[in-house]
Amino acid sequence: MKLLLESTVQRPLCTGTGGIGKSFSSRFILSFTLRDSGTVRVSTSISIQQTVRVGRSGDKPTFSVGHCTASIGHFDAHLSGGNLVATTFYRVILAAVKNIIKPALQLQICPQVVKILSDQSSKITNNFPTVFPLVFGSNVNLGLVANPAVTSDSITLSLRGRCFPANNPGLSFPFNAPTTPVLTPTSQMARISISPYTMNTLLYSMWQSNLLRKFYSQQELSAAIGTSLTANVLADVFPALAQYGSSSLEAEVRAPEAPRVHITPAGIGVNGRIELALYVVLGPGNKPQALTISTNVQVTVQPRLVGSVVSGTISHLNVAVTGAGGLPVEAINGIINYFLPSQILPALNRVAAAGFDIPGYYGFSVSGASIATRQNALEVGTDFRKAPPSTTQPPRTTTTLGPLGPICRSLSRIGPDGEIRPGPLC
């Protein structure tokens, strides 16, 4: 460090005319250099109060930065490690300017906080996903339908939750959204309420996109049962097929209408119809429908959430055949009702008990999650924690059963060892 001290001295000066005058021509400069190394430890306490207003613009949330106050309650700097002369000098300088540094820093806090929050809120608004891609070629509209509700410790967003085919966003639905209850108060970090309207619009979109039907060619049927399936093979069971002789058969499993979901405190209920249609291959382009078996299905599932694994228990299942290609419907329903509680329902519950994991997002995983059904609402609450580093795990062994995989599994049979095996149509 160099310190320059400058002064002037008054002294007599002889002039060329013999007179005597005064001059300030003398200067004294003191220069010295300090070289040192050490540690400066600054301790401070800062208090910031910032108001953020939450609103809505169209179907997106908006955030605007309001009043900001900041104060530095404590500010101190400690020097160590240097030589005595330099450290003493630095301490003198710090003591002199500390009361200048503190208010100067205090004035810079709020402008920086406001700038950061303004930039981030703009990014949130611009990037808010009003349309989010789902499975099976469907999207969901997550636009706001009401202004955000803000309390001292929570923000509630009411989202549209309307699903639609990605290639048909203007699809209209033959039903309206029911009134959903107010969210249950919770101490968890997040709580989500899902309306049956979201589930029904997804199922209707899948049905409109022909995703709730599966066609099986004669080659696929032959591969599934291990032999060629012809009309005369089934003629003893379905006499209507006898007239087609040894013609090959093809099949289609379909939902003639979109299933409907309703949610009550008892669980998630699904009502739907399933049809099995058999076609006779008489020639290229000539495949008349020879037989249709229609079934009404009603099922109620009680969801369960343990850790991050979602599973369920089927508490109610009703299967009623309404048409069986000329066979006595009462007799068929009697057989179904006989095996339903002892064989079919336990097999389905073993599948439902396996469940699936809730994946983590953006480096966070769920913690202490809960799930409950209310009237017209499925509520899921959870805390979040930083996900541990991923470890390599062997992939699970899975069987690809096509779009009707869940239905095929529900039609599975039990092997002699107690394992569930896909049925003949899978």
Whether the per-residue pLDDT at 235 is higher than 90: the answer is no
- More confident: 209 or 384: 209
Q: Which of 355, 348, 357, 353 is nearest to 420 (CA)?
A: 348
Please give the average per-residue pLDDT across 42-61, as a whole number: 84
* Token pair of 63 as six digits: 């955030």
pLDDT tens sequence across 241-255: 889 999 999 999 999
Q: What is the pLDDT of residue 389?
A: 61
Q: How many CB atoms neighbour CB 417 within 10 A?
A: 6
10 Å CB burial of residue 79 (0-12, 13-18, 19+) is middle
Residue 1 pLDDT grade (very low, low, confident, very high; cuts 50, 70, 90): very low
Q: What is the pLDDT of residue 86?
A: 66
**How do the domains of the chain map onto residue ranges?**
41-127, 131-421
Amino acid at position 155, single letter: I
pLDDT tens sequence across 222-234: 888 888 889 998 8
* Token pair of 160 as six digits: 């549209």
Q: What is the pLDDT of residue 261?
A: 97
Residue 176 pLDDT grade (very low, low, confident, very high; cuts 50, 70, 90): very high
Return left, alpha or beta for 307; rule: phi > 0 is left, psi -120 to 50 is alpha, else beta: left
Q: What is the pLDDT of residue 97?
A: 65
Q: What is the pLDDT of residue 36?
A: 64
pLDDT tens sequence across 335-373: 888 889 888 899 999 988 888 888 777 678 888 889 999
pTM for this prediction = 0.70
Q: HEC string of the chain? A: CCCCCCCCCCEEEECCCCCEEEECCCCCCCCCCCCCCCEEEEEEEEEEEEEEEEEEECCEEEEEEEEEEEEEEEEEEEEECCCHHHHHHHHHHHHHHHHHHHHHHHHHHHHHHHHHHHHHHHHHHHHCCCEEECCCCEEEECCECCCCEECCCCEECCECCEEEECCCCCCCCCCCCCCCCCCCCCCCCEEEEECHHHHHHHHHHHHHCCCCEEEECHHHHHHHHCCCCEHHHHCCCCHHHHHHCCCEEEEEEECCCCCEEEEECCEEEEEEEEEEEEEECCECCECCEEEEEEEEEEEEEEEEEECCEEEEEEEEEEEEEEEECCCCHHHHHHHHHHHHHHHHHHHHHHHHHHCEECCCECCEEEEEEEEEEECCEEEEEEEEEECCCCCCCCCCCCCCCCCCHHHHHHCCEECCCCCEECCCCC
- Alpha-carbon torsion (116, 118, 119, 124), positive or negative: positive
Q: CA neighbours within 13 Å on the CB side: how many for 229?
A: 21
Residue 163 pLDDT grade (very low, low, confident, very high; cuts 50, 70, 90): very high
- More confident: 404 or 347: 347
Whether the per-residue pLDDT at 392 is higher than 70: the answer is no
pLDDT tens sequence across 101-110: 778 888 888 8
Residue 118 pLDDT grade (very low, low, confident, very high; cuts 50, 70, 90): confident
- Please check whether residue 68 is in contact with residue 51, taking contact to mean a CB–CB distance below 8 angstroms: yes
Least confident range from 6-10, 46-50, 142-146, 307-311: namely: 6-10
What is the distance between the alpha carbons of residues 135 and 165, in angstroms, rounded to a whole number? 10
Q: What is the pLDDT of residue 281?
A: 92
- More confident: 2 or 289: 289
Q: What is the pLDDT of residue 196?
A: 96
What is the distance between the alpha carbons of residues 198 and 390, in angstroms, rounded to a whole number? 32
Whether the per-residue pLDDT at 413 is higher than 80: the answer is no
Q: What is the pLDDT of residue 401?
A: 37
Please give the average per-residue pLDDT across 109-115, as a whole number: 87
Whether the per-residue pLDDT at 157 is higher than 90: the answer is no
* Token pair of 281 as six digits: 């291959």
Report the topology of domain 131-421.
Bactericidal permeability-increasing protein; domain 2 (3.15.20)
Q: What is the pLDDT of residue 166?
A: 93
Q: What is the pLDDT of residue 335?
A: 87
pLDDT tens sequence across 262-282: 999 999 999 999 999 999 999
Q: Which of 351, 165, 183, 193 is nearest to 258 (CA)?
A: 165
- Alpha-carbon torsion (86, 87, 93, 96), positive or negative: negative
